[in-house]
Amino acid sequence: MPSEDHVSLRLAMLSVHTCPLAALGGKETGGMNVYVRELSRELGRMGVEVDVYTRSQNPVIPRVVALGERAHVIHVAAGPERPLSREGLAGHLDEFVEGIEDWRIARGDYDLIYAHYWLSGLAGLALRDRWTVPVLQMFHTLGRLKNSVARSASEVEPLRRIEAESRLVGAVDRMVAANVVEREHLRRLYGADRARIAVVPCGVDTTLFRPGDKTDARRDLGLADHPVILYVGRLEPIKGLDTLLDAVGQLHATGLPVELLVVGGDTDDAPAGREAQLRQRIGALGLAAKVRFVGAQPQEALRAYYVAADVTVLPSFYESFGMVALEAMACGSPVVGSRVGGLTTTVRDGVTGHLVPEGDVNALAQRLADLINDPDAGERLGREGTRWAVQHRWPCVAEAICREFVSLEPLAEVHLASARCRE
């Protein structure tokens, strides 16, 4: 830890559209929330002063919430304090920037900005003009790539986002990609300079996500003694849950008595919403008694689901990294995922899990059947997955990110001595 008399790096972490404290699995929550929260905590342990700025969506919550040592979330009032669409948020970025400026005056100057997603990137550029400090940018997902695989009109990203991402690629001081696949997408789709893109994988909390006793986990969750397939994530079409439902339908048609647990979804999903559409499909497939929606869950509750499952499935049409896969592997759950985006590097095909073509119901059903019918194979994959996950602990991610900070602000170098990656 830096000495008492040393001036620590002060970092403004920007997460405009979603709060890192929000429960996962809703429409606007996912891996990015986990990334911002856990990285901020670990950087704080390394002595970095971290303020995470997010737009307030509830006027009654505290303005400042402690994340951990030296790390705080600050809820900035910008526009109506309720959930808004991402397009709607873009009209309140000026207010968001002004709100951060008010907090800076009260809390002190920052040495560096780390922006997440395109909305935060735009705010970061505006703040850089005022503060003359570098901006490190992480996109998490890319609009052009999402549009190429969108499954519905509601999933098509607006031109405003595409234009903003193009601007950010050329304007920010440095970028972070979660894997070499994302770096290539930035180069090919946006003309980014590879030399300005650092590749730093996302992380996993291996003190929380770890192997356990499957029998105990199933008892705690009220599950019967039959094969369990797990899905964790948002319910939007691009996540491929329709494909998984059809695959489970095939398994039942062959007499394999599996149960599917679906973790995720908005608690205020309207009757005509996405969950209702999925339930109609489930009914048509004759799976009403075999699929259970358990809603969005806090991270602390997820471990039991991963441990209880025979296999965790990511049937997505697009994944920038696949943090669910990493969490599942850390718990010893074998993973079956689509051969898309970051999953091609997060999941080691045939070693920690299996990859299948996206949208291929037959291939997915076959892989699931193979694992369920051969528990020993699933256990072997699970053991290797646990070993793989250890290499992605948050202390290692924080050290790698801090090295990128050093490239932009030498003051950050002193914090590398407090990195815990090799502990």
pLDDT for the residue numbered 174: 98
Residues of the chain with CATH 3.40.50.2000: 10-203+393-418, 214-390
pLDDT for the residue numbered 270: 44
Residue 105, judged by CB atoms within 10 A of its CB (0-12, 13-18, 19+), counts as exposed
Alpha carbon 339 to its chain centroid, in Å, reads: 18
- Angle formed by the axes of helices 375-390 and 323-330, to 10°? 110
Contact assessment for residue 250 and residue 365, using Cβ atoms and an 8 Å cutoff = yes
CATH 3.20.20.70 assigned to 214-390:
no
Global confidence as pTM:
0.91
Tokens of 386: 């646990």
pLDDT tens per residue across all 423 residues of the chain: 444 445 799 999 999 998 998 755 445 557 899 999 999 999 999 999 999 999 999 999 999 999 999 999 999 999 999 988 878 899 999 999 999 999 999 999 999 999 999 999 999 999 999 999 999 999 999 999 999 998 888 889 999 999 999 999 999 999 999 999 999 999 999 999 999 999 999 999 999 999 999 999 999 999 988 999 999 998 999 999 999 999 999 999 999 999 999 998 764 444 448 889 999 999 999 999 999 999 988 888 999 999 999 999 999 999 999 999 999 999 999 999 999 999 999 999 999 999 999 999 999 999 999 999 999 999 999 999 999 999 999 999 999 999 999 999 999 999 999 999 987
Tokens of 285: 């497939």
Tokens of 108: 């002190």
pLDDT for the residue numbered 271: 41
As a whole number of Å, the CA-based R_g of the chain is 21
Give the CA-trace dihedral at 382, 387, 391, 392, to 10 degrees: 20
pLDDT for the residue numbered 105: 96
Those residues whose C-beta lies under 8 Å from the C-beta of residue 8, and which sit 6 or more positions away, are: 2, 47, 48, 49, 70, 415
CATH number of 10-203+393-418: 3.40.50.2000
Distance CA 21, CA 387 (A): 28
pLDDT for the residue numbered 6: 58
Contact assessment for residue 72 and residue 51, using Cβ atoms and an 8 Å cutoff = yes
